[in-house]
Chain A
Amino acid sequence: MHEIFTTRNNPYVDPIMAMWEWQIPVYLFLGGMVAGMMIIAGYFLFSGRHKESNCACFSIPFTSLILLSLGMFALFLDLAHKPYVWRLYTTFQLKSPMSWGAWILILVYPALIANILIRPSQWMINRVPKLSEIAGKIQQHHILIRNIGILNMLFGLMLGAYTGVLLSTLGSRPLWNTSLLWVLFLVSGLSAAAAYVHLVAKNKAESELLAKADNGFLVVELFVFVMMFLGLLSSAKPHIEAANLLLNGAYAPIFWVFVIGMGIVIPLIIQLLAVNHKVKHTPIAPIMVIVGGLILRFVIVSAGQYSHWFNAHFH
């Protein structure tokens, strides 16, 4: 029998790392969803759909702004040394994904605002009449709108990828230590964003389109999961242990039921039936996708902190 005893007893470190609680998964989820929204909205702008009276271009950026700010606030709540938060912006640390993330957010906000300014809501115009004038000027420049679309897609991609890279560069946590994690979080973010548009779009065609897109994202997400597990399972023992945490270990019930079952497979079936007009579109499937995306972040953050190089020595 292998026995190991440590006298160390640091809060949130022992016996199992739990430094990051709810704030980080919420931040990662909202960041990922906003990234997806930016890519979708950016694509709509890029493809000239801003002329259509749909929601994706116009309500999504504002929602993104709110959600991202909520995510940032969650991140801020997580900081233990809050008065020093400004230190993020007195330096750029090339090797630090978190430093990258801080600066990406500096890019994301203007891109979102630019998008909003293309066609601000009546509510905004009522308060700041000058917005109407600005929007009018922007709308005269189709290339500018196209470029705003490109920037939204690009920064959205960076933001979505960053939420995964943030974890995957922390090599001490074998579960996170997979280069597919950013793909997973990006696709999951896209899926959640698509589900959101599917849920709220008043335009039937758009809703239908995003439902179809979401089905695509969900299939890709399943595929990424498979690839990610194949990668982990064919790696070193700590990585195998980490994969097994989700597959058949402590986190398996929540992973299979909430992330895979209720977060991907069931909504995928419902939405496939819906787009093929076998059933009506209901809010159930997209809500399941969004909640599944949130639970995914919780599971990955928590199980990732549980996974450890050292644990592999016990079994």
Chain B
Amino acid sequence: MARFGMVIDTKKCVGCQDCVIACKTENKVPEGHDRDWIVTESHGKFPDILMEIRTERCNHCSNTPCVSCCPTGASHIHDVGGVVLVNHDLCIGCKACVESCPYDARFIHPDGYADKCTFCIHRVEKGLKPACVEVCPTYCMHFGDLDDPNSEVSKLLQSRKYHVNLPEAGTQPNIFYLI
């Protein structure tokens, strides 16, 4: 079984939001809504500052509170790559999944259903990369099968230090940040 995930090199990311815009055009994300976003986090006192820039989105967790809480099965785990998806025709817009996500990765689409990153599964199933990965001018994003030890993403995780977001929330996120 493939387990799709992303490995994002925070050393290279400049936070330009290209990924965000590419997502918006590719997926026709409505104005004023973001499926992905940039977080800039810094510590320290000027001029001794440590800063990390990350592009964030749904973590397509292995442990999925958003799927568990869904009363209709709209929020589900796709049979390809363990990608977490929402079936618009099942969603009643109860917002429980939005509340359940520790990353606040979901929102309610103006058409009423819960929406979020799909890992561009429509592209991935055609052998393409997600739009955000494909557009990144710093080449900081990598997408692939985390269960395949020979994949680019697995190799990066073997060779570099990394962290995930909110490991303490226990969701087993599948997006890893190289540091």
Which A residues form the contact surface with B (CB < 8 A)?
1-14, 17, 19-20, 78-82, 84-85, 87-88, 90-91, 93, 95-99, 101-102, 166, 169-173, 236, 238, 305, 308-310
29 contacts between A and B (CB under 8 A): A1-B45, A2-B41, A4-B40, A6-B56, A7-B38, A8-B56, A9-B32, A10-B33, A11-B32, A11-B108, A17-B104, A19-B95, A20-B99, A79-B93, A81-B92, A81-B112, A84-B112, A87-B92, A91-B73, A96-B71, A97-B69, A98-B69, A98-B70, A166-B96, A169-B68, A170-B96, A170-B99, A172-B100, A236-B168
- CB of B47 within 8 Å of the partner chain: no
Those of B29-73 within 8 Å (CB) of chain A: 32-34, 37-45, 56, 65, 68-73
> Whole-angstrom distance between the alpha carbons of A172 and B89 in the complex?
26
Question: Which residues of chain B are within 8 angstroms of A80 by Cβ–Cβ distance?
Answer: 92-95, 108, 112-113
Give the residue name and chain of the A residue nearest to B41 (CB).
A4
Give the residue name and chain of the A residue nearest to B57 (CB).
A8
Question: Which residues of chain B are within 8 angstroms of A171 by Cβ–Cβ distance?
Answer: 65, 100, 102, 169-170
Known A-B contacts A2-B43, A13-B107; A98 and B101 likewise in contact (beta carbons under 8 Å): no
Is the beta-carbon distance between A9 and B34 smaller than 8 angstroms?
Answer: yes
Give the residue name and chain of the A residue nearest to B40 (CB).
A5
> Whole-angstrom distance between the alpha carbons of A102 and B102 in the complex?
25
Is the beta-carbon distance between B108 and A12 smaller than 8 angstroms?
Answer: yes
- CB of B90 within 8 Å of the partner chain: yes
- CB of B17 within 8 Å of the partner chain: yes
> Whole-angstrom distance between the alpha carbons of A80 and B44 in the complex?
43
Question: Which residues of chain A are within 8 angstroms of B95 by Cβ–Cβ distance?
Answer: 19-20, 78, 80
Is the beta-carbon distance between A78 and B94 smaller than 8 angstroms?
Answer: yes
Is the beta-carbon distance between B99 and A17 smaller than 8 angstroms?
Answer: yes
Those of B103-118 within 8 Å (CB) of chain A: 104, 106-108, 111-113
- CB of B133 within 8 Å of the partner chain: no
> Whole-angstrom distance between the alpha carbons of A112 and B39 in the complex?
51
> Whole-angstrom distance between the alpha carbons of A91 and B76 in the complex?
13
Q: Identify which of B45, B92, B104 contacts A88 (C-beta below 8 A).
A: B92
CB distance from B57 to the nearest CB of A (A): 10
Which B residues form the contact surface with A (CB < 8 A)?
15, 17, 20, 32-34, 37-45, 56, 65, 68-74, 89-96, 98-102, 104, 106-108, 111-113, 166, 168-170
Is the beta-carbon distance between A10 and B107 smaller than 8 angstroms?
Answer: yes
CB distance from B119 to the nearest CB of A (A): 18
Give the residue name and chain of the B residue nearest to A2 (CB).
B43
Known A-B contacts A20-B95, A84-B89; A10 and B34 likewise in contact (beta carbons under 8 Å): yes
> Whole-angstrom distance between the alpha carbons of A220 and B40 in the complex?
46
Known A-B contacts A79-B92, A309-B102; A95 and B17 likewise in contact (beta carbons under 8 Å): no
Question: Which residues of chain B are within 8 angstroms of A166 by Cβ–Cβ distance?
Answer: 96
| A-B contacts, CB under 8 A, total | 155
Is the beta-carbon distance between B38 and A6 smaller than 8 angstroms?
Answer: yes
Known A-B contacts A6-B38, A88-B71, A169-B68; A11 and B33 likewise in contact (beta carbons under 8 Å): yes
> Whole-angstrom distance between the alpha carbons of A170 and B72 in the complex?
16
Question: Which residues of chain B are within 8 angstroms of A173 by Cβ–Cβ distance?
Answer: 99
Q: A8-B37, A80-B95, A93-B71 are in contact. List 20 more A-B contacts (CB 8 A).
A: A4-B41, A6-B38, A8-B104, A10-B107, A13-B106, A13-B107, A20-B95, A78-B94, A84-B90, A87-B90, A96-B70, A98-B70, A169-B68, A169-B69, A170-B65, A170-B96, A170-B100, A238-B168, A305-B99, A310-B166
Question: Which residues of chain A are within 8 angstroms of B45 by Cβ–Cβ distance?
Answer: 1
Question: Which residues of chain A are within 8 angstroms of B41 by Cβ–Cβ distance?
Answer: 2-5
Is the beta-carbon distance between B92 and A85 smaller than 8 angstroms?
Answer: yes
Known A-B contacts A7-B37, A13-B98; A309 and B93 likewise in contact (beta carbons under 8 Å): no
Question: Which residues of chain A are within 8 angstroms of B168 by Cβ–Cβ distance?
Answer: 236, 238, 309
CB distance from A91 to the nearest CB of B (A): 5
Is the beta-carbon distance between B17 and A98 smaller than 8 angstroms?
Answer: no
Question: Which residues of chain B are within 8 angstroms of A309 by Cβ–Cβ distance?
Answer: 102, 166, 168-169
Known A-B contacts A79-B92, A81-B91; A7 and B42 likewise in contact (beta carbons under 8 Å): no
> Whole-angstrom distance between the alpha carbons of A159 and B168 in the complex?
31
Which of A1, A87, A102 has the most CB atoms of chain B within a 10 A radius of its CB? A87
